[in-house]
Structure formats: C-alpha cells, structure tokens
Amino acid sequence: MKNNTSQKESFLNGEGDSWFNRNSLLSEIDYRYWIENDPLLPLVLELPCENNSNTKVFEVGMGQGMRLTELKNKRNWDVSGIDPSKKAVDHVRSNQIKSEIGTAEKLPIKDNSIDILIYGFCLYLCDVNDLFLISNEANRVLKKYSWIAIIDFWSSYPFSNVYFHEPTLKSYKMDRTTMFTWHPNYKIYNHKLISHNENKYTDNMQDWVSVSIIRKNG
Ligand SMILES: C[S@@+](CC[C@H](N)C(=O)[O-])C[C@H]1O[C@@H](n2cnc3c(N)ncnc32)[C@H](O)[C@@H]1O
C-alpha cells in the first residue's frame, strides 16, 4: 500500500470488508453477549427521545449493525447507517436496516434531520485531516436539540500507533469529546472511562476506552 493512500480509501478499498470478514461469524449466543456487554447501548437507550420512528438514529461505521438492530427493536426508532465496507452494508440491508457505503466526513443525510448520531469505534480509524470535516458534518445533520454518542479509544493527549490488523494503517487515540465540546452548543451529558477488555473501570490507562454522550442544544 502506498503511503499517500488515505485511511478512508484503504477502508473503502477492502480494509472495511476485511474487518467485516473477521467479525461477521457471530452466532446468536455471541450476538446476545455483544449486545449485553456493549457499554454504549445502555446510555443511548436511556436518552429522552420518543419511542417511535420520529426519532432518527444514524450510526457512522456501523459494521454489522448490531447496535442499530437493538435500538430499532427496543425503542422503535428509525435507524440507519454507513460503512466503507460493501459487505457490511449488504449484511445490514439484509436485516431491513437502511445503510449505504460511505465515510464519516460526508454523510448521505439531510441537514437538521438526526436525533442521535453514533460513532461506534470508528473515529480512531478516520484520517486526522478529516476531523474538521467530520465535526462539521455532525453539526450539519444533527437537529437543533439532539445527541452524539461515542465509544472509542481514549487518551488525554493525541497519539497514534500501528493498526493491529494492517501495519500500513494507524489507530488514532485522543479525547473525542473535544471534537465537539469546544463549541458552546455542545455539552457533555455522560462520559466515563472503562477498560477496553471489560465493561468496568481500570487503572491501566493504556487500556482506556471512553463512552460519551454529548448534547447539542443550539
Ligand atoms: C471497529 S469497527 C466498529 C463497528 C461497529 N460500529 C461496532 O461498534 O461494532 C470500525 C468500523 O468503522 C468503519 N470505518 C473505517 N473507517 C471509516 C470512516 N472513515 N468512516 C466511517 N466508517 C469507517 C470500518 O469499516 C468498520 O466497520
């Protein structure tokens, strides 16, 4: 792979499908285990939004779409998502969930239309040069009063290391809330640091993952 290839091109050109292939063989038992242990789901499920299709939920980098499926089933929300992986999109569509191929800096959604925007472990894979575009897209598609839900690797200072599955790519780690909360319209509603391996606190900072809910109120 050439060094000047962006990460999103790599994911659009096969790395997304590779992720899907590695993770797509979940049995029903694994699926239930994943759902029951996803640290983000309980925080999203408790958000004060109507239990019907007036509530629009969009996940960026939805992978197999398990989180979206659960939110649709539990709260009857109108859910959809994007992923650079065609295999992921085909799979999610086969579960009757709207989905398109795409990446975080260009969302196929109308302005002011989303109540809950989810980034589930995808921002760490996004190009650093896209971060302003990504924040701007979120701001564009979110309704005036709405929510952002993020789970991702956390660090108090930005750094990158080699992406475990492909050494030419990087995993970028930082405090993702800072992409939004510098702006007066965005406030942290819920934020906690947990272990990447277990859904509970750890004193091992190398292992920290953050789960964050941000309110847009303007
Ligand atoms: C670690 S998986 C997480 C999948 C799912 N959200 C979850 O929480 O299980 C990361 C996903 O992000 C997707 N992805 C990678 N780069 C992306 C980008 N620039 N924009 C949107 N999604 C991206 C990958 O294809 C992959 O499906």
Which residues does 203 contact at the CB level (< 8 Å), separation at least 6?
none
Q: Which residues in 99-130 are b (16+ Cβ under 10 Å) and which e?
A: beebbbbebebeeeebbbbbbbebbbbbbeeb
81 lines ligand 1 (CB under 6 A): no
pLDDT at 6 over 50: yes
pLDDT at 3 over 80: no
pLDDT at 174 over 80: yes
CA distance 117 to 58: 5
What per-residue confidence (pLDDT) applies to 199?
Answer: 80
pLDDT at 2 over 50: no
Question: What are the pLDDT digits (tens) for 184-197?
Answer: 999 999 999 999 88
Average pLDDT, rounded, for the chain:
95
Could you tell me which residue, 30 or 50, shows the higher pLDDT? 50
68 lines ligand 1 (CB under 6 A): no
pLDDT at 64 over 90: yes
Which ligand 1 atom is the nearest neighbour of the CA of 20?
27
Cβ(191)–Cβ(211) under 8 Å? yes
Question: What are the pLDDT digits (tens) for 15-32?
Answer: 999 999 999 877 888 889
Which ligand 1 atom is the nearest neighbour of the CA of 16?
25
> What's the CA-to-centroid distance between 121 and ligand 1, angstroms?
6
Which residues does 153 contact at the CB level (< 8 Å), separation at least 6?
121, 124, 171, 173, 196, 208, 209, 210
> What's the CA-to-centroid distance between 125 and ligand 1, angstroms?
7
Q: Could you give the angle at which helices 66-75 and 28-37 cross, rounded to 10 degrees? A: 80
Cβ(59)–Cβ(120) under 8 Å? yes
**For atom 10 of ligand 1, which residue has the closest CA?**
122
> What's the CA-to-centroid distance between 120 and ligand 1, angstroms?
7
> What's the CA-to-centroid distance between 128 and ligand 1, angstroms?
15
Amino acid identity at 96? Q
**For atom 18 of ligand 1, which residue has the closest CA?**
103
What per-residue confidence (pLDDT) applies to 181?
Answer: 97
Question: What are the pLDDT digits (tens) for 74-128?
Answer: 999 999 999 999 999 999 999 999 999 999 999 999 999 999 999 999 999 999 9
**For atom 1 of ligand 1, which residue has the closest CA?**
121
Helical H runs in the chain?
7-10, 16-23, 28-37, 41-45, 66-75, 86-94, 131-141, 178-181
pLDDT at 156 over 80: yes
Which ligand 1 atom is the nearest neighbour of the CA of 66?
9
Which ligand 1 atom is the nearest neighbour of the CA of 61?
22
Q: At which residue do the structure tokens 């789960």 appear?
A: 211
CA distance 9 to 1: 11
Cβ(154)–Cβ(193) under 8 Å? yes
CA distance 6 to 11: 9
pLDDT at 1 over 60: no
pTM for the model: 0.96
Could you tell me which residue, 23 or 180, shows the higher pLDDT? 180
Token readout for 71 is: 């939110």
Residue whose C-alpha is closest to residue 196's, from 168, 155, 165, 135: 155
Cα–Cα distance list, 120 to 37, 52, 54, 168, 208 (Å): 14, 22, 22, 22, 15
**For atom 14 of ligand 1, which residue has the closest CA?**
61
What per-residue confidence (pLDDT) applies to 119?
Answer: 98
What domains, with CATH codes, occur in the chain? 7-217 (3.40.50.150)
How crowded is residue 32: how many other Cβ atoms within 10 Å of its Cβ?
Answer: 12
103 lines ligand 1 (CB under 6 A): yes
What per-residue confidence (pLDDT) applies to 116?
Answer: 99
